[in-house]
Amino acid sequence: MKFGVICFTYALLIVFSSALAEPVRYEQDATHTIIQFTWNHNRLSNMSGRFLEHEGVFELDFDKPSKSRVEFTIKADSIWTGVGKLDEDMKSKRLFDVDNHPEIKFVSTAARKTGLERGQLAGELTIKGITKPVTLYIDVNYNGPHIFPNVEKYKGAQLAGLTIKARVNRSDFDLGMAVPWIADEIDIVINTELVAYPDSKP
């Protein structure tokens, strides 16, 4: 009888401890994060650009993704295409209007697992003060112990590597200049590395 009570109590502890487990807060490695966007130009070529300044909040639970929360903020004037005149046009009032709308922001609203190392993150994307629902498709490239566990500052640390993809229509955000000659659809790819240190909690 006592053995049964002990087993039942132990089972309850496991259930409650699992239910109370919190997501882990990961720090974004900005030196290993790239935000790239691609568009088709007059059906002739696929052009691309990047945002160079950004920061993110990643509170992740890989076992129970529904507990996860992600926020991402991008400095709009950090846009870079490699072509100075195009960068100026991108920052102007005709497009991103960076003087009046300095930030681009994504805030997650729901997360779910879709495969062994894949998931989806629903959320709201705000550009130029316009907010629209967007779904991010995530590939988990790595999730586990730090690859340099013998380095003092990385002892007990966890690493995660993510590839995040999305497709948006730029006209939804008042960025529709020259549509349809220049494609409305924009493909976004974010590659990022994250690190969580022991006792990293939201």
User: Number of H helices and number of E strands within the chain?
Assistant: 2, 10
Percent of the chain with pLDDT over 90: 80
Is the pLDDT assigned to residue 12 strictly greater than 60?
no
pLDDT digits (tens, 9 = 90+) for 38-57: 999 998 999 999 999 999 99
Helix/strand/coil for 146: coil
Paired strand residues for 109? none
CATH superfamily of domain region 22-196: Lipid/polyisoprenoid-binding, YceI-like (2.40.128.110)
pLDDT of residue 198: 86
Is the pLDDT assigned to residue 66 strictly greater than 90?
yes
Question: pTM for this structure?
Answer: 0.85
pLDDT digits (tens, 9 = 90+) for 189-198: 999 999 999 8
pLDDT of residue 199: 73
How confident is residue 22, by pLDDT bands cut at 50, 70 and 90? confident
Q: What is the mean pLDDT of residues 184-190?
A: 98
Q: What is the mean pLDDT of residues 67-94?
A: 96
Q: What is the mean pLDDT of residues 166-172?
A: 98
Q: What is the mean pLDDT of residues 76-91?
A: 97
Question: What per-residue string of b and e applies to 114-137 under the rule 16 or more CB within 10 Å gives b?
Answer: eeeeebebebebbbbeeeeebebe
Domain range list for the chain: 22-196
For the chain, what percentages of helix, strand and coil (3-state, to nearest 5) are there?
Answer: 20, 50, 30
Is the pLDDT assigned to residue 20 strictly greater than 90?
no
CB contact at 8 A, 104 and 79: no
